[in-house]
């Protein structure tokens, strides 16, 4: 059987293909968990394909077995959404043939074959080389010419000769000379349908005019969303990428600088293998702009001036006493859902309810990373809070770049409702869409049960990201606290959770990305205290304290937020009033390096004016995720609570991957 009869059908088309980096652990072994996270992140940002173990992937530093592990994982994690091209560069024909066969076994869609290096091959030798590869290859082949690495200048006429002889087994070329005139010359001489990948994403207009079908780009490994948008014609993103590319092109160690840039952006790139991990200090100093995403340099914090005296909420020494104490007697810990290999490994934002004699739980679930495209809302139910049903999705996995986040349940007129929000972009995941915009196309939706399914119901609220479930205010109105797309703290207030009369009120506005006194206030939770509503707020600007705003008119207007003395690890918390009149707050009250590795329950016996008790619920100084994923945090995250049958039930997500429920007798707190 000839190669033409058994060659794999070609999925490779034009577009933006990302040349992925290869992350290494501290001991220089492959960090496959980090690589999985990068694949999921990159594909979710809307690129057209992946190149794995190419030049940017440090193929020169990889064994064949390591390349195969990367190829298999890329194919598995991309789940057919984009083609995977294997970098099969080698110095000999024999080695290249083995690598191409291995790439085919791993499920790759094409092989990118670099011109052999070390010895400069003649045009005749290159023709012979690619002819042998094409005749034996089970994969379509992309030629790869990069003279800056191989020091081989392959003439256009010689490339065209190979293309004419071997097309369609050889389907195209990556010409990394970054020369539009050269791309135009190649286009004139090669057969119709022969693909040309050349140029950077921000140069798409010029290279498209020259006949290039797309580009295979290294910078897109760090900025895939911005690169995809620049490639599609976004002038602002193109201008930003042009500046970043100018810095990278001047680097004597592009891969190391690119990885350093990615690490600054919380992308788990690691370092190159030694000795290629060293970056000249001058290059690092010249690259501060690489630390900013999407072209949007964060606005400078306004002059804070003297801050007001913190409001006293916490009895002195409670945090230290909590760390030294044992958990309350009668505490139970139950797993609702455990992340597993091959399933949703990111689980977060859990919320619970009790309705119809059953417990209900809902949470956000993603394949690998936080708030990435394809994220769905899951739900499960239990007769007793200990034995839980198999989780099911509320909606089908969304297409394109849509993602969903769970926002909780509510009960009205005897019916159980659910809240979830959707959006197409998150700045902390995809980069900036617009200055100071955290989410794009943000909408809150309501769901009711219809048989065994959840269906959309009632009014959708634009520009609201709820922080917790809707709750009823004294007097009967409902409130849904959260943030809007510009991260301003807001609340929707109306006669019912999904009514037409819901109005958004602002609690803490932002200016240049900052709120009052240079804070970044977010993720509110509330309780009633002495006839007023008290809204406590997380501060992302580093104060490690909760802030307080109050309303004396049922939530229609709010006071300027002021700091409190209540410590916070910069995390989500939940406050509520118990049936006996006490106020409880569950969260991560760690102002130090412990951060979220302590989950604690604070109790106020005077209606929420001050908290005189703090109970340790879960404490593990060394807990860490089992699976890699972007934005995962070591600890016990984002609690939610309810009171039922004499117990306080607290749901949380350890390390943003498992879903757990704690329960403690109310009498023990």
Q: Which residues pair with 112 in a beta bridge?
A: 87, 142
**Which CATH code fits 318-668?**
2.120.10.10
* Tens-digit pLDDT profile for residues 232-250: 999 989 998 999 998 888 8
DSSP letter for each residue of 310-324: PBP-B-TTHHHHHHH
For the question of residue 130 being annotated catalytic, the response is no
Is the domain spanning 3-233 CATH 3.20.20.70? The answer is yes
Alpha-carbon distance of 10 to 574, in angstroms, equals 52
pLDDT in the model for residue 499: 81
pLDDT in the model for residue 286: 75
* Tens-digit pLDDT profile for residues 540-559: 998 999 999 999 999 999 99
Q: What percent of the chain has pLDDT over 70?
A: 96
* Tens-digit pLDDT profile for residues 147-181: 988 888 999 999 999 999 999 999 999 999 999 99
Q: Which stretch of 130-134, 166-170, 277-281, 575-579 has the lowest confidence by average pLDDT?
A: 277-281
How many Cβ atoms from other residues are within 10 Å of residue 321's Cβ? 14
* Tens-digit pLDDT profile for residues 609-641: 999 999 999 999 999 999 999 999 899 999 999
* Tens-digit pLDDT profile for residues 60-98: 999 999 999 999 999 999 999 999 999 999 999 999 999
For the question of residue 174 being annotated catalytic, the response is yes
The CA distances from residue 178 to 185, 201, 207, 525, in Å, are: 13, 11, 9, 53
If you average pLDDT over residues 523-532, what whole number do you get? 96
DSSP letter for each residue of 494-530: ESSTT-TT-EEEEEE--BTTB-GGG--EEEEEEEEET
Report domain extents, the chain: 3-233, 318-668
pLDDT in the model for residue 306: 65
pLDDT in the model for residue 290: 61
Instruction: Examine the pLDDT at 4 and tell me if it is beyond 50.
Output: no
Mean pLDDT of the chain: 92
* Tens-digit pLDDT profile for residues 445-487: 999 998 889 999 888 999 999 999 999 999 999 999 999 999 9
Tokens linked to 669: 């707190």
**Of the residues 17, 129, 169, 174, which is catalytic?**
174
pLDDT in the model for residue 301: 52
If you average pLDDT over residues 271-279, what whole number do you get? 93
Cis before 275 (ω within 30): yes
Q: Which stretch of 429-433, 595-599, 629-633 has the lowest confidence by average pLDDT?
A: 429-433
Instruction: Examine the pLDDT at 122 and tell me if it is beyond 50.
Output: yes
Tokens linked to 477: 């109105």
Instruction: Examine the pLDDT at 668 and tell me if it is beyond 90.
Output: yes
Instruction: Examine the pLDDT at 402 and tell me if it is beyond 80.
Output: yes
Cis before 266 (ω within 30): no
Instruction: Examine the pLDDT at 318 and tell me if it is beyond 60.
Output: yes
Tokens linked to 210: 């020259």
pLDDT in the model for residue 657: 96
**Of the residues 17, 41, 130, 144, which is catalytic?**
144
Instruction: Examine the pLDDT at 297 and tell me if it is beyond 60.
Output: no
pTM: 0.90
Name residue, tokens 């891969």: 255
Q: Which stretch of 136-145, 148-157, 640-649 has the lowest confidence by average pLDDT?
A: 148-157
pLDDT in the model for residue 296: 40
pLDDT in the model for residue 485: 94
Instruction: Examine the pLDDT at 6 and tell me if it is beyond 90.
Output: no
Q: Which stretch of 346-350, 382-386, 432-436 has the lowest confidence by average pLDDT?
A: 432-436
**HEC states along 18-49?**
EECCCCECCCCCECHHHHHHHHHHHHHCCCCE
Burial class of residue 509 in the structure, from the number of CB atoms within 10 Å of its CB (0-12 exposed, 13-18 middle, 19+ buried): middle
Alpha-carbon distance of 415 to 455, in angstroms, equals 13
Contact 57/89 with Cβ under 8 angstroms?
no
Phi, psi of 98 (to 5 degrees): -65, -40
């Amino acid at each position: 059987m000839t190669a033409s009869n058994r060659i794999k059908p070609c999925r490779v088309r034009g577009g933006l293909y990302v040349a992925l980096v290869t992350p290494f652990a501290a001991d220089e072994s492959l960090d496959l968990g980090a690589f999985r996270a990068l694949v999921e992140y990159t594909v979710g940002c809307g690129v057209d394909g992946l190149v794995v173990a190419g030049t940017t992937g440090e193929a020169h530093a990889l064994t064949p077995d390591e390349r195969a592990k990367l190829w298999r994982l890329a194919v598995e994690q991309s789940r057919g959404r984009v083609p995977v091209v294997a970098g099969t560069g080698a110095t000999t024909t024999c080695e290249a043939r083995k690598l191409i066969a291995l790439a085919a076994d791993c499920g790759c869609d094409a092989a990118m074959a670099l011109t052999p290096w070390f010895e400069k091959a003649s045009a005749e030798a290159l023709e012979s080389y690619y002819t042998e590869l094409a005749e034996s290859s089970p994969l379509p082949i992309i030629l790869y010419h990069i003279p800056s690495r191989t020091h081989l200048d392959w003439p256009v006429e010689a490339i065209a000769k190979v293309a004419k002889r071997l097309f369609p087994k050889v389907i195209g070329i990556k010409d990394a000379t970054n020369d539009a005139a050269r791309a135009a010359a190649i286009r004139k001489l090669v057969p119709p349908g022969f693909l040309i990948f050349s140029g950077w994403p921000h140069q798409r207009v010029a290279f498209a005019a020259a006949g290039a079908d797309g580009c295979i780009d290294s910078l897109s490994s760090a900025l895939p969303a911005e690169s995809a948008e620049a490639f599609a014609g976004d002038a602002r993103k193109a201008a930003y990428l042009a500046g970043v590319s100018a810095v990278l092109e001047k680097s004597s160690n592009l891969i190391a600088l690119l990885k350093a840039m990615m690490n600054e952006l919380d992308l788990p790139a690691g370092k190159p293998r030694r000795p290629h991990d060293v970056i000249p200090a001058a290059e690092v100093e010249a690259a501060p702009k690489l630390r900013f995403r999407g072209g949007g340099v964060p606005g400078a914090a306004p002059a804070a001036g003297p801050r007001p005296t913190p409001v006293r909420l916490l009895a002195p020494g409670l945090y230290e006493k909590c760390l030294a104490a044992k958990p309350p007697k009668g505490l139970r810990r139950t797993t609702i859902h455990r992340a597993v290999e091959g399933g949703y490994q990111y689980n977060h934002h859990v919320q619970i309810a009790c309705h119809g004699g059953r417990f209900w739980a809902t949470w956000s679930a993603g394949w690998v990373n936080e708030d990435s495209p394809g994220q769905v809302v899951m739900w499960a139910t239990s007769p007793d809070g200990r034995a839980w049903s198999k989780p099911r999705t509320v909606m089908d996995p969304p297409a394109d770049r849509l993602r969903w986040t769970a926002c909780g349940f509510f009960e009205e007129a005897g019916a159980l409702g659910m809240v979830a929000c959707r959006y197409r972009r998150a700045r902390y995941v995809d980069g900036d869409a617009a200055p100071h915009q955290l989410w794009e196309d943000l909408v809150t939706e309501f769901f009711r049960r219809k048989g065994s399914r959840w269906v959309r119901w009632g009014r959708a609220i634009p520009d609201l990201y709820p922080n917790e479930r809707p709750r009823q205010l004294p007097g009967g109105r409902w409130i849904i606290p959260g943030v809007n797309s510009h991260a301003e703290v807001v609340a929707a207030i109306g006669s019912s959770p999904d009514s037409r009369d819901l109005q958004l009120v602002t609690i803490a506005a932002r200016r240049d990305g900052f709120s009052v006194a240079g804070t970044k206030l977010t993720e509110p939770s509330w309780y009633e205290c002495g006839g007023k509503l008290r809204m406590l707020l997380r501060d992302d600007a580093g104060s490690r304290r909760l802030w307080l705003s109050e309303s004396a008119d049922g939530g229609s207007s709010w006071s300027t937020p002021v700091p409190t003395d209540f410590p916070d690890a910069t995390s989500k918390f939940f406050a509520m009033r118990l049936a006996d009149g006490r106020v409880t707050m569950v969260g991560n009250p760690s102002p130090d390096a412990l951060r979220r590795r302590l989950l604690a329950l604070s109790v106020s016996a005077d209606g929420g004016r001050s908290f005189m008790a703090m109970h340790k619920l879960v404490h593990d100084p060394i807990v860490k995720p089992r699976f890699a994923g972007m934005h995962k945090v070591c600890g016990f995250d984002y609690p939610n609570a309810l009171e039922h049958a004499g117990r306080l039930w607290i749901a949380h997500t350890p390390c943003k991957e498992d879903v757990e429920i704690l329960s403690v007798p109310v009498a023990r707190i």
